Amino acid sequence: MNSSLARVFLSSLLQRRLATALSLLAIALGVALGLAVQLIHGAALDEFGRGVRLLAGEADLQVIGPNDGFDEALYFSLAQRAEVAEASPLLELDARLPELGANLRIIGVDLFRVVRVQPMLVPVATGEGARMAALQADSVFLSDPAREALLAGEDADTAPGRAALSTGRLVVQSGLDLHVLQLAGKVPGAGQRLAVMDIAAAQQLFERLGRLTRIDLRLAAGVSARSAMDGLSPLLPAGVVLRVPEGAEAEAGALSRAYRVNMTMLAAIALLTGGFLVFSTQLLSVARRRREFALMRALGLTRGELMRGLLFEGGAVGLIGGVVGVALGHALAGLAFRLVGGDLGAGFFQGVQPALHFDPVLAGGYALLGGFAGLVGTWLPAREAARVAPARALRAGDSERGGLLRARSRTVGALLALVLAAALCLLPPVAGIALGGYLAVALILAAAVMALPDLSRTTLAIVGPGGRARSVVVRLAHARLAAAPGQAVVAGAGVLASVALASAMAIMVSSFRVSVDDWLAQVLPADLYVRASSSSASGYLDPAAVERIRAVRGVASIDVVRAIKLRLGPEQPVLTLLARPVEGGWGLPLVAGSQQRPALPGTPPAWISEAVADLQGIGPGGTLELPLAGQSRRFVVAGVWRDYARQHGAVVIEREDYVALSGDERVNDVAIRLAPGHASDEVADALRKAFGAQRLEIAQPGEIRAISLEIFDRTFLITYLMEAVAVAIGLFGVATTFAALATTRKGEFGMLRHLGLTRSDIGRVLALEGALTAGLGVLAGLLAGGAIAWVLIEVINRQSFHWSMDLSVPVLALGVFSAALIGLAAMMARLAGARAMRRSAVLAVKEDW
Amino acid sequence: MLRVDALCKILPGTPPRTLFRDLSLQVAAGECVAIMGESGSGKSTLLNCVAGLEPVDGGRIRVADDDITGVDDDSLSQLRRRRFGFVFQAFHVLPHLSLRQNVALPLWLLDFEPREADERAEAMLERVGLGERAGDAPHTLSGGELQRVAIARALVHRPALLLADEPTGNLDPGRATAVLDLLLEQGREAGAASVLVTHSQVAARRADRVFELGTEGLIDISGRA
């Protein structure tokens, strides 16, 4: 196509500025949301990966174990191996800072080894006696980001802690004891929030004598990581694994991948809605420009050139929308970093401070995606335009009769799409991503759009009295929709897509929230909860402390929990092991099996969460090997329980089995049941008095529930925003469709005015048509939304997060939302038609174009 | 310039209706032929068949040296852009293009340089008396003026054949005469063979020959019209 002809098509876009601008905006929003999600997670992952690489320094391999640690004898045997040039032992802990109400990652390092393997962790002393400071037992070195973060709070309770920190004093908790450390300097190489101290001092301080959590290895020249792993793996005790440092990066990526894909899919649906909008505006524009195209064809434009010209129009709108979207996406990502952090509030990358980078390939890709959406949206209308018979279209009196506006029945296609969607739901996940589920969602949407003409006919037949109503306004609106069901398709498709998305998300989120709430009530049956620290490593309660709690006045009975993190293999995510009384203890939210100890002598029982059941492919009666105290122990699965707290799985075992196998009698959490006549506040005060105010975290179930639900709502905030965007795009669709239709119907309106209808009568006709069209879109959208919600709950969430939930439909909220949308659509339709109605009736009937 | 031999057109339906059969016509370069007939007699359909916009059920049509029967759709499009000019009853001037651009449209399709296309379009507008308004938008023009724009567009690329379907049907008698004179004058000047479909006796009288269309073909009524 030459540039002059391109101008003919482009000038048509300028002619209908409003519709073009709205289509462009819709695509821009879809692109922006998708790109923002990608940018935010990409930046957070990059930053996390950079941190991992920096901290690993020159290490070729890392030995990692449970957060409880492993025997340091392993270090001595590895250091002597020929494959290993240097080995650097580390003890990593999340330490509680009671005065500051925060946790800090403390890394104990061997100062002579760390220089050769992880130079970024080398502490630099400042002040007097600097030379020997690093070797002193009470010296700690703080990275700049950690210092900034700790000093940043404004809470009055932590003000003394901040004052102490600025004078060089840091109080850490170990067990229930507090220790004062001296700030001896900085860790200039570390860009993360952490502190470094001498490993021997850390072992002593946190009562981990002889324990390590990590060993970084630099391999001898000529030894590959693969061959070293083969040679060294047999030396490792159970639960301790070897991996390349990049493994941590991949693990973080995998951890947030399902969440990221979910978000990207939401953005894709917003983009799809934008594509629908391009489709409806192009379709109407094609219907309106029928004679223009017929003329061009009569003048010698080929069908192919006409189709290419229209695709060029759609592609141009899409591409410009894509470019605007890329700019908007960067702005959104920047805003999100400032407001909710690098994980969109989901809590995957705590302590990571990502920065936004411009990636030309990514930006170009997303801009092209916008162009693609424009092309796809234009494809059918362009094909329709190219099929127009010029001789008929040029005949005087031939009005807009676009083929798609006639809307053929496609119910068979819709049914086929639904059958295919059902089949796709049965597919297993691909690399942890519920691909079949996402495709099923797209097919359900397509089926709903295809079924819209027949749904429109059936609904209008059911509400048939409209056609015989006394009011001419009702009769006209009814007749128009009955004669042109395609209008419902074109205007309703955008509403349908956005309502389907919004209602599906609303049903899913409501089901999830109700299930989480029920689950919290079930897992928090006690009156009061006590723990030494929110991190299970540095804070714990020993048997003596547990007995002291039991003896506090008002305590009727207690249940204790020990929580440790461990790995089943190098490629496996971190699993939480919870040791607590099960049989006779408080209830587990079981979905399969029972709480009874199975009759299998010699093999203790374990109750696994749904994630473990899915990831390991086991169920009740199966067996599970768990590494405890350096040895692999076999457990028989007695039941499967629902756990919304740990996405990568948790295993519950009887505490007495755990103590017998590991010898570890420490506990992390204590659940207290109160004696009759005692209030929880009174017992909490007594506990604080007995142990010291800052050493115990005491919470009532109501507080934990409120905090949990607050985190839940924050996580879903971004999805509410995306829904709002999709709904706005759907309303744009109604506005542009009615604006375009009103323009093509100027003659009709003029004629009606000649017949005696007032302007406001015509306005009411338009409003009623808008309401009916949106009503049909809402109806189909709710049906599709229900089906999509089922796929989200039973397929996508099960496969991505391994969470089951009970269905809960927010009927009232959906009803209010639907009514508001229909009202808004009626208003939009009336406003959109107002311009066409302002024209002189005499001119309107005489006008040819 | 135009030669139609034994043309046949049957409209589909139950039963099918023969619009015309064995229809023959020759129009020389610079000659104008008017075709009259009752409404529904198939005048416009004949014009569309000649333009290759509707398929025929028999016979041949040649324009200059090109046979347009049995040619595929794209080749017909190419032929139309080179050889044909059209004037319609309803003007069909594109609302989003200026007068200059509307007239230049056929030249754009023929890949003329934009500047040359503009110059020729302006010259053509000058010849139909609208030279001063080349940059104006169509909605500022009266019906007669719009039809003059359509005539300029029909002739700007010097077509071999000019087809006009009720070109004065939407105009008052005074304007109709002026527009018709312009159309015939410009057509003759360009050396185009013109076929004019009309209900108007006044319009028909200005043609070189006048035919009446019936199911048996064209009857020369030049003396009676």
pLDDT digits (tens, 9 = 90+) for A70-114: 888 999 988 898 888 889 999 988 888 878 777 888 999 988 888
Q: Per DSSP, what are the bridge partners of residue A95?
A: A104
What does the pLDDT read at residue A401?
Answer: 44
What one-letter code names the amino acid at A632?
A: S
Distances (CA, A) of A827 to A106, A757, A830: 61, 20, 5
Give the residue-averaged pLDDT of A210-223.
88
What does the pLDDT read at residue A253?
Answer: 65
pLDDT band at A134 (very low <50, low <70, confident <90, very high): low
Determine the distance from the C-alpha atom of residue A443 to the mean position of all C-alpha atoms in its chain, rounded to a whole number: 22
Measure the CA–CA gap between A523 and A587, rounded to whole angstroms: 7
- Per-residue pLDDT reduced to its tens digit, B118-136: 999 999 999 888 999 999 9
What does the pLDDT read at residue A320?
Answer: 94
Between A59-63, A581-585, A772-776, B116-120, the lowest mean confidence (pLDDT) is in A581-585
Give the residue-averaged pLDDT of A567-589.
79
Residue A318 contacts residue A26 (beta carbons within 8 Å): no
Contacts of B108 in chain A (CB under 8 A): 2, 4-5, 8
CB contact under 8 A, A389 and B106: no
**In this model, does residue A787 exceed pLDDT 90?**
yes
CB contact under 8 A, A304 and B88: no
Give the residue-averaged pLDDT of A495-500.
83
**In this model, does residue A845 exceed pLDDT 80?**
no
Tell me if residue A143 falls in helix, strand or coil: coil
CB contact under 8 A, A5 and B80: no
For A410, list phi and psi in degrees, rounded to 5.
-125, 30
Give A10→chain B minimum CA distance, Å.
10
Which one has a higher pLDDT value, A254 or A61? A61
What is the distance in angstroms between the CA of the first residue and the CA of the last residue of chain A?
A: 26
Rg value, chain A, Cα: 33
Shortest CA distance from B74: residue in chain A: A302
Tell me if residue A214 falls in helix, strand or coil: strand
Give the residue-averaged pLDDT of B79-92.
84
Which of 262-321 (A) contact B at CB < 8 A? 291-292, 295-305
What does the pLDDT read at residue A789?
Answer: 92
Residues B69, B75, B81, CA angle at the centre, nearest 5°?
105
B101 Cβ neighbours under 8 A, 6+ residues apart:
A7, A8, A11, B94, B121
What is the DSSP track for A789-830? HHHIIIIIHHHHH---------HHHHHHHHHHHHHHHHHHHH
Burial A441-461 (b: 16+ CB within 10 A, else e): bbbbbbbbbbbbbbbbbebbe
The residue among B186, B196, B199 whose CA lies nearest residue B149 is: B186
Percent of chain A at pLDDT above 70?
Answer: 83
Q: Per DSSP, what are the bridge partners of residue B32?
A: B194
- Whether the CA torsion B178, B179, B180, B181 is positive or negative: it is positive
Residue A186 contacts residue A122 (beta carbons within 8 Å): no
Name the pairing type of β-strands B58-63 and B2-11.
Answer: antiparallel
Contacts across the A-B interface (CB distance below 8 Å): 90
What does the pLDDT read at residue A425?
Answer: 92
**In this model, does residue A344 exceed pLDDT 80?**
no
Tokens describing residue A793:
């709950």
**In this model, does residue A54 exceed pLDDT 80?**
no
Tell me if residue B5 falls in helix, strand or coil: strand
What does the pLDDT read at residue B195?
Answer: 94
Residue A214 contacts residue A121 (beta carbons within 8 Å): no
pLDDT band at A128 (very low <50, low <70, confident <90, very high): low
Percent of chain A at pLDDT above 90?
Answer: 10
CB of A708 within 8 Å of a chain B CB? The answer is: no
Which one has a higher pLDDT value, A194 or A838? A194
Which one has a higher pLDDT value, A677 or A271? A677
Q: What is the mean pLDDT of chain B?
A: 87
**In this model, does residue A37 exceed pLDDT 60?**
yes
Which of 595-634 (A) contact B at CB < 8 A? none
Give the residue-averaged pLDDT of B201-217.
87
CB of A5 within 8 Å of a chain B CB? The answer is: yes
What is the DSSP track for A149-186? HHH----GGGHHHHHHHHTTEEEEEETTEEEEEEEEEE
What does the pLDDT read at residue A207?
Answer: 83
Tokens describing residue B161:
């054949």
Q: Per DSSP, what are the bridge partners of residue A637?
A: A606
CB of B40 within 8 Å of a chain A CB? The answer is: no
CB contact under 8 A, A304 and B80: no
Measure the CA–CA gap between A628 and A564, rounded to whole angstroms: 10
Name the pairing type of β-strands A211-212 and A631-641.
Answer: unpaired
Q: Tell me what ipTM this predicted complex has.
A: 0.74
Give the residue-averaged pLDDT of A500-504.
86
Which one has a higher pLDDT value, A393 or B76? B76
Say what the pTM is: 0.70
CB contact under 8 A, B90 and A14: no
What does the pLDDT read at residue A417?
Answer: 93
Nearest to B92 among A3, A389, A394 (CB): A394
What does the pLDDT read at residue B2?
Answer: 92
- Per-residue pLDDT reduced to its tens digit, B133-192: 999 988 888 888 888 898 899 989 989 999 998 888 877 887 788 888 888 888 888 889
Residues A544, A549, A554, CA angle at the centre, nearest 5°?
155
For A216, list phi and psi in degrees, rounded to 5.
-95, 135
Measure the CA–CA gap between A2 and A19, rounded to whole angstroms: 25
- Look-up: residue for tokens 């978000």? A263
Measure the CA–CA gap between A49 and A30, rounded to whole angstroms: 28
The residue among A642, A671, A609, A702 whose CA lies nearest residue A519 is: A642
CB contact under 8 A, B96 and A5: no
CB of B105 within 8 Å of a chain A CB? The answer is: yes
- Per-residue pLDDT reduced to its tens digit, A359-398: 888 899 999 988 998 888 888 888 888 887 787 777 644 4
Nearest to B105 among A14, A299, A303 (CB): A299
Which of 410-449 (A) contact B at CB < 8 A? none
Element containing residue A432 per DSSP (H, E)? none
**In this model, does residue A474 exceed pLDDT 90?**
no
Tell me if residue A306 falls in helix, strand or coil: helix
Tokens describing residue A223:
């030894």
Residue A336 contacts residue A344 (beta carbons within 8 Å): yes
Distances (CA, A) of A31 to A7, A379, A734, B161: 26, 20, 21, 51
Residues A444, A449, A454, CA angle at the centre, nearest 5°?
115
- Per-residue pLDDT reduced to its tens digit, A405-435: 455 667 888 999 999 999 999 998 887 778 8
Give the residue-averaged pLDDT of A277-302.
79
pLDDT band at A843 (very low <50, low <70, confident <90, very high): very low
Measure the CA–CA gap between A241 and A294, rounded to whole angstroms: 72
The residue among A28, A735, A146, A771 whose CA lies nearest residue A459 is: A771
- Look-up: residue for tokens 């952090």? A341
Tokens describing residue A591:
């979905």
Measure the CA–CA gap between B192 and A494, rounded to whole angstroms: 51
Q: Per DSSP, what are the bridge partners of residue A174?
A: A177
Measure the CA–CA gap between A671 and A580, rounded to whole angstroms: 11
Measure the CA–CA gap between A690 and A223, rounded to whole angstroms: 57
Q: Per DSSP, what are the bridge partners of residue A88?
A: A216
**In this model, does residue A438 exceed pLDDT 80?**
yes
Q: Per DSSP, what are the bridge partners of residue A197?
A: A108
**In this model, does residue B17 exceed pLDDT 60?**
yes
Neighbours of A372 (CB within 10 A): 17
Residue A215 contacts residue A171 (beta carbons within 8 Å): no
CB contact under 8 A, A300 and B89: no
- Look-up: residue for tokens 């990059």? A46
- Counting other chains too, the contacts that A220-223 makes at CB distance below 8 Å and 24 or more residues apart are A220/A82, A220/A83, A220/A84, A220/A85, A221/A85, A223/A83
CB contact under 8 A, B53 and A390: yes
Q: Where are the alpha helices (DSSP H) in B68-113?
A: 73-83, 99-109
Contacts of A301 in chain B (CB under 8 A): 77, 81, 109
Strand order in the sheet with B209-214: B84-87, B161-165, B193-197, B32-36, B209-214, B217-220
Nearest to B109 among A3, A5, A391 (CB): A5
Tokens describing residue A655:
């505490």
User: 3-state SS string over A618-640?
Assistant: CCCCCEEEEEECCEEEEEEEEEE
Between A431-445, A562-576, A591-605, A692-706, the lowest mean confidence (pLDDT) is in A591-605
Shortest CA distance from A843: residue in chain B: B139
Between A107-116, A402-411, A736-745, the lowest mean confidence (pLDDT) is in A402-411
What does the pLDDT read at residue A584?
Answer: 63
**In this model, does residue B194 exceed pLDDT 90?**
yes
- Per-residue pLDDT reduced to its tens digit, A24-36: 888 888 888 888 8
CB contact under 8 A, A11 and B96: yes
**In this model, does residue A493 exceed pLDDT 50?**
yes
- Whether the CA torsion B123, B127, B132, B138 is positive or negative: it is negative
**In this model, does residue A538 exceed pLDDT 80?**
no
Q: What is the mean pLDDT of chain A?
A: 80
